[in-house]
Structure 1
Amino acid sequence: MYRSRVRYPDDPGMHNVGGFQDGDKYTKVSYKENPSLLDRISQTFAGGLLGLGIFVVSFFILFANEGRAVQTATALEECLSLVIPVENSNMIYQENNNKLIHITGYLRTDQALKDGMTGVEIQAVKLRREVEMYQWVEHKRTREIKENKQTKIETDFMYTKEWKNNLISSDLFDNPHRHQNQREFPIKPTTYVAVHTYVGSYYLKEGLKAKIEEFISYTPKTNPPDPNIKYVDGRFYTGMPRTPQVGDARITYSYAGLSGPQTYHLGPPNIVSIIAKQSGSQLTKYQTQSEMAIELLHYGEKTADEMVQDEVDANTALTWLLRAGGWFMMFMGLYLMTNIINRLVSWIPLVRTLVSFGLTVFNLTVSFTLSLITISLGWFYYRPLMAIALIAVALTPSIITYIRGQRKSEDNRV
């Protein structure tokens, strides 16, 4: 059961609440009954169900990750064996039609990208308009104090005005009436993309353009045509820049894939290296025998070998990251499912410590073994011998423990 009251900023001692120095602030105090052993066990059953769900999902993540990893590795091997290097990106070689090719060259677009609202214009593959809105932000800190059969909960709230690029709903605030935000941005963020993008004479399809994502901040030096928009220090404002109000917008820009002429004021166009299928004069995705699409674009001048090796390294890093994440999810799932035992003995400190240690070792061992078995099953179709070896490694600790147990039993009989 909860009971609560609120101390407002004009209460004594409210000048520095919970470490807050300034702003609209107050403290809410509430009380709840300390849960009984039965309540804690019932909460643990709910945690056990959550743990079961996490445990099941971890199997899916581990198994799917191995399938993805081996499919990617196979596709990259095939790519390296089939790719045809093209020395001159300004020439279209019809004999390479529908084949996997590698080219390197400067990005090129046929017209500049322009935001008509502010007049910002740039010769690039992408121009991104980023928008922030001046909004109320709620900060809170909670402290729990045990008091006999009750727990006192003190929550400090403070509201500040900040520039945010995501919409903050004031309806979810503890005190929304005095801190209301707009329900939508006055200006929408957007990304302009060049319709026609080339490397030499080769036209890039949408999949390759989507890979041009290295955005660089851009500071325009032009005044906006709209008199309601102010330009100050490289940014555009819908209100007064020095004294913004809640609901005002601030606009900044960035670009990706510089593609202007060699004399362009931002520097030369970006050089990119591409591995993709030539379809006439277009570059698009190539379907490998492992049913994976190959469509690679890297910044800089790279050989096909270097590009493939970079992809192999990225695939390895992602595979190990997901393996670690899947194992941790499995461990947490087991922890939540076995935590009920801790609850049952929580009133005996020494027993609780011993049981907690034993369960932790058990959960670590089981999660490691099951993770390794799941990973090996993911490789079984592609590398059966490796899969069998991994299963043997995973089961070794259990087999050793079983053999030792049998020997102890025999010794006790003797």
Structure 2
Amino acid sequence: MSDNSGRDSGGSWANPVGDTPGSSGDGGTFTTTSSQSWLSRIGSALVGLLIGLAMIPGSGVLLFWNEGRAVQTARSLTEGAGAVRSVPADRPDAANEGKLVHVSGPVRVTQLPFDAELDAKPPNGTLRLVRHVEMFQWQEENQSETRNRLGGGTETVTTSTYRRGWQEGRVDSGRFRQGEGHQNPTPRYAAASFNAQGATLGGFRLSDPQIGGLPADQTLTLPGSGEGTRYIGNDPNNPRVGDLRVSWRYARPDAVSVIAAQVGDGFGPYATNAGDRLQLIQSGSVPAAAMFQQAQDDNATMTWILRLVGVVVMFIGWALLFNPLKVLADVLPFLGSLVGFGTNALAGVLTALMAPVIIGVAWLFYRPLVGIAILAVGIGLAYGITRLRRRAPQQEKLA
């Protein structure tokens, strides 16, 4: 029995072609076959077990921390909504120094943002200009199929397909399974962002980080061409690897709204009693209440995203913890499949039980009333699963 421990044991080409012009290109396919012995798989599974032992408590820490972060942010936003005062934009009032203010109005700039390398200039009133660069380049797509062999070993066949197409940034061709004939050059230009200089909101100055928080959502049309993209290469109808397409987007809002601490004639973060530093900026004339509501919605969305991440990490951790059982059973492939299904199901059940409990404990710590409700749901779920497991043998006996 061979043991390559995941190394390629062979490779073959199918229909490779050179770098000829065209809007898309087929660089052929490259197939490799690798094998791994049962003993090597057991070693890998034991390493995975150690990783799983770290991932399970790590996911619990993430879930607990996320609930605290969510509560702290929500309290800070509520505190800010009660403390903010809307003030005129024409000039700063020294009486508001250090206080949380809401300012809204049109913005003026002393110097427009300008892409000097490519001579791209946006229209008057622009606060921010963003350059996007796409390169025509080689791209690799891998598809792998792993087959279990009698005795516990595996054989993996990986097919790598190479095509040329447009993509932002540079694909690292040094990581291709078959790099020969598929080298991507370093692009002549990279993505970049440019901010206006001397931007003022009435009598208040706007800093670069504040301008950078505004979305560049308008497409720049190049003067004289009527197009929004500049092609850098010989023939846009027949691109070659290394050719570039450059486009720009810009932020030119009719007005800007800011919620932050007044610091001199500018803005800075406002320290809340809850422990956060508030600073909100949006395009348009947006009331303070609407800005705080949007921030609360964004906080809720981020909370659910991090919860999902924590749950997925916990499930993977449990699956890695039980994976050695599947590998041991893979001596007979059909038995390994059954054990794998069972261990994955067990990992799912344990995750479904543990994640709500951890979240509930976190809420008990941060918000006791809500935490009690979440814990009740988790306990009810655990009780229901236990009842189902007890009922199944009884039904089998009656049958």
- Greater mean alpha carbon deviation, residues 111-120 or residues 359-368: 359-368
Alignment correspondent of 1:44: 45
Q: 1:232·1:241 contact (CA, 8 Å) conserved in 2?
A: no
**Of 159, 166, 187, which aligns to 2:169?**
166
Alignment correspondent of 2:12: 6
- Cα distance change on mapping 1:138 and 1:386 into 2, 3 Å: closer
- Cα distance change on mapping 1:350 and 1:300 into 2, 3 Å: same
Q: What is the rounded CA distance, in whole Å, between the counterparts of 1:279 and 1:325 in structure 2?
A: 38
- Cα distance change on mapping 1:216 and 1:52 into 2, 3 Å: farther
Q: Does 1:319 align with 2:303?
A: yes
Deviations 1:3-32 (A, max 9, x none): 42424538xxx9xxxxxx962324435363
- Cα distance change on mapping 1:187 and 1:58 into 2, 3 Å: same
Alignment correspondent of 1:262: none
Deviations 1:255-294 (A, max 9, x none): 12x1xxxxxxxxxx42222211112321221111122111
TM-superposed deviation, 1:199: 1.8
Alignment correspondent of 2:82: 81
**Of 24, 28, 31, which aligns to 1:25?**
28
Q: What is the rounded CA distance, in whole Å, between the counterparts of 1:27 and 1:404 in structure 2?
A: 50
TM-superposed deviation, 1:146: 7.3
- Cα distance change on mapping 1:128 and 1:400 into 2, 3 Å: closer
- Cα distance change on mapping 1:105 and 1:58 into 2, 3 Å: same
- Cα distance change on mapping 1:9 and 1:109 into 2, 3 Å: same
Deviations 1:340-390 (A, max 9, x none): 334444567997787666645543343233222322343344324444554
1:25 is paired with a residue whose SS is strand
Q: Does 1:178 align with 2:181?
A: yes
**Of 230, 233, 238, which aligns to 1:239?**
233
Identity of aligned residues (%): 28
Q: What is the rounded CA distance, in whole Å, between the counterparts of 1:3 and 1:152 in structure 2?
A: 10
Q: What is the rounded CA distance, in whole Å, between the counterparts of 1:335 and 1:200 in structure 2?
A: 58
Equivalent residues in 2 for 1:9-408 (5 A)? 9=15, 23-30=26-33, 32=35, 35-36=37-38, 38-86=39-87, 88-122=88-122, 123=124, 124-143=126-145, 154-182=157-185, 184-222=186-224, 233-242=227-236, 243-256=238-251, 258=252, 269-345=253-329, 359-360=343-344, 362-388=346-372, 390-391=374-375, 393-395=377-379
| Matched AA of 1:216 | Q
TM-score (norm 1): 0.77
List runs of 5+ in structure 2 lacking aligned partners: 3-7, 18-23, 391-399
Q: What is the rounded CA distance, in whole Å, between the counterparts of 2:46 and 2:29 in structure 1?
A: 36
TM-superposed deviation, 1:140: 4.1
TM-score (norm 2): 0.80
Q: 1:204·1:284 contact (CA, 8 Å) conserved in 2?
A: no
- Cα distance change on mapping 1:355 and 1:193 into 2, 3 Å: same
TM-superposed deviation, 1:126: 0.9
| Matched AA of 1:333 | G
- Cα distance change on mapping 1:171 and 1:373 into 2, 3 Å: same
TM-superposed deviation, 1:404: 12
- Greater mean alpha carbon deviation, residues 293-302 or residues 334-343: 334-343
Q: What is the rounded CA distance, in whole Å, between the counterparts of 2:372 and 2:202 in structure 1?
A: 50
Q: 2:364·2:370 contact (CA, 8 Å) conserved in 1?
A: yes
TM-superposed deviation, 1:244: 3.5
Alignment correspondent of 2:5: none
Q: What is the rounded CA distance, in whole Å, between the counterparts of 1:27 and 1:39 in structure 2?
A: 26
Q: What is the rounded CA distance, in whole Å, between the counterparts of 1:177 and 1:98 in structure 2?
A: 61
TM-superposed deviation, 1:169: 2.7
Q: Which has the larger radius of gyration?
A: 1
2:305 is paired with a residue whose SS is helix
| Matched AA of 2:162 | Y
Q: 2:128·2:212 contact (CA, 8 Å) conserved in 1?
A: no
Alignment correspondent of 2:21: none
Q: What is the rounded CA distance, in whole Å, between the counterparts of 1:83 and 1:217 in structure 2?
A: 35
TM-superposed deviation, 1:81: 1.1
The alignment covers a number of residue pairs equal to 374
Alignment correspondent of 2:394: none
Q: 1:208·1:284 contact (CA, 8 Å) conserved in 2?
A: no
Q: What is the rounded CA distance, in whole Å, between the counterparts of 1:125 and 1:156 in structure 2?
A: 47
- Cα distance change on mapping 1:146 and 1:348 into 2, 3 Å: closer
Q: 2:129·2:194 contact (CA, 8 Å) conserved in 1?
A: yes
Q: What is the rounded CA distance, in whole Å, between the counterparts of 1:353 and 1:26 in structure 2?
A: 30
Over the aligned positions, Cα root-mean-square deviation in angstroms equals: 3.5
